[in-house]
């Protein structure tokens, strides 16, 4: 993730879930995978395009995926 994203950045457009909500789920609720993220935030529970590049069915591709966020925080 070379780019810096504001906490207000919407990662999941279907469910309107921000980066801040996803980070809260990871840091405070101990979300470790996509299923946990969906449980706590609903992100990734609709079309799934925000989960990873391979699942992105949109004509315009996402700039940030849930899998990238999880990878960054699971390495710590």
* Residue 2 near residue 73, CB atoms below 8 Å: no
Give the domain ranges of the chain.
Answer: 10-74
**pLDDT(3) > 70:** no
Per-residue pLDDT reduced to its tens digit, 16-57:
999 999 999 999 999 999 999 999 999 999 999 999 999 999
Query: Confidence class of residue 2 from pLDDT cuts 50, 70 and 90?
Result: very low
Predicted confidence at residue 58, as pLDDT, reads: 86
| Residues forming a β-bridge with 12 | 17
* pLDDT at residue 75 in the model: 72
pTM: 0.89
Q: How far apart are CA 48 and CA 1, in angstroms?
A: 20
Structure-derived torsion over alpha carbons of residues 67, 64, 41, 57, reported in degrees to the nearest 10: -80
Q: By C-alpha distance, which of 74, 75, 54 is closest to 65? A: 54
């Amino acid at each position: 993730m070379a780019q810096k994203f504001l906490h207000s950045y919407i990662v999941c457009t279907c469910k309107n879930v921000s980066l801040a909500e996803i980070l809260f789920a990871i840091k405070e609720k101990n979300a470790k995978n996509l299923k946990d993220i969906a449980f706590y935030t609903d992100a990734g529970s609709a079309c799934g395009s925000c989960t990873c590049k391979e699942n992105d069915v949109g004509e315009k591709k996402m700039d940030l995926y849930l899998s990238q966020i999880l990878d960054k925080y699971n390495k710590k």
